Chain A
Amino acid sequence: MSDRSRTYLKDLRTGQLAEASLIDGVSRDEIERSESLWRPILLESLEIRQRSGIAKGSWPEHSHWDWRKKHAATEGLIAYRMFGVECEGDMQGLMLVSTAGHPCRIAEQRGKEQVYIDFVASAPWNSRELVDSPRYGLVGRVLIATAVQLSLAEGFRGRVGLHSLPQSETFYATNCGMTDLGKDTKKEGLRYFETTPAQAAAFLR
């Protein structure tokens, strides 16, 4: 069963907020449809880059993520939840979180439970790394706000952790106000970010 909550994204073509849905419990069909829409646009963008002589190594680092595999691997597991943001009938972003197995690392809350964001990404047409004119903004903010609200509901007081890809570090450090705990050598050297309850409250204010 999935729940839908009303939210908003910024339509970057008009600058206005557009009504959207936050889906808790994205179904296999929705994932299949998202992948079928995301993949051709992703490949087209990458082919344009290739024809333009842009080296393959400069392509976005999440361009090969396969959400179908993630869904299949976590479907039915209580500790995992998959969320999506839908607008104009299309999935604009996806997030996989877990509510167990990733204890907090900030000294003042070390060892406490939190919501850990395993993966989060926007649709390829919303990424300025892939297209010149992205369609929707606020996808990341809506999904992080979802993770914080889930953390509050689970009794984790807003504690959320994640490993950011390099190109996203500014969003998590500056716009979300998360604490940067530095490189994690056990996670491909990615920087680890975490919120305290106070930071989570400040983010939502």
Chain B
Amino acid sequence: MRFTFNKEWLQKNADRDDNLEIAAGSFSLDQLPPAEGDPGDRTTVLAFGRLINLCRRKRGWTIEGLASSARIDVSEAIRIERDASYVPGPRTVFQLSTALGLPRERMLQLSGNMIVRDRGLGEQAVRFAARSASVEKLSRQEHLALEEFVKYLNEPR
């Protein structure tokens, strides 16, 4: 089949499209997500929720603020922070990672979207979950736990 493209139309829109990504289809997860019905490792999912909670509070954001920044539903942000059995979808994890400046692949692993093959990540997640407790203001201990865990997540592998 032959197609026609108006040169003036392309010229008119050329500047508007600069710098915009166009990829569509699906994520390129190179590891399978847990099988349906398999809740995955609850500890890493718990650590994921705690990580989101602490990163949000460190920035002084409300849950509504986090949801707005990440362009996700407020109800989903609440579930992520409070429900250790809740596994958010890859898009939500992607959006949260971008909003909070966290590495996407490891966030996908922590959140239960990818199999955790890095034993160190699992151990660090357990340690982090154990050290962070839910209080309104970030305690010094929580602050240290958060800094240490984020540093580990960002280390190149």
| A contact set with B: CB distance below 8 Å | 3, 5-8, 10, 12, 17, 22, 24, 50, 53, 55-65, 93, 96, 117-122, 127-129, 134, 137-143, 145-146, 149-150, 153, 162-168, 170-172, 175, 183, 185, 187-191, 204-205
Contacts and interface: CB of A to CB of B under 8 A. Distances in A.
Contacts, number: 173
Contacts of B90: 188-190
B89 to A, nearest CB: 3
B120 interface: no
Interface of B: 1-5, 7, 9-11, 13-14, 16-28, 30, 88-92, 94-95, 97-98, 102-108, 153-154, 156-157
Contacts of A65: 25, 28
A24 B89 contact: no
A120 B25 contact: yes
Contact of B25 (A6, A7, A165): A165
15 contacts: A3-B1, A22-B5, A56-B103, A57-B104, A57-B106, A58-B103, A61-B28, A93-B22, A128-B21, A137-B18, A138-B14, A140-B20, A163-B26, A165-B23, A190-B90
Contacts of B21: 60, 122, 127-129, 165, 167-168, 171
Contacts of B105: 55-57
A121 B22 contact: yes
Chain A facing B: main interface SS: mixed
Nearest to B90: A188
Contact of B91 (A5, A50, A145, A189): A189
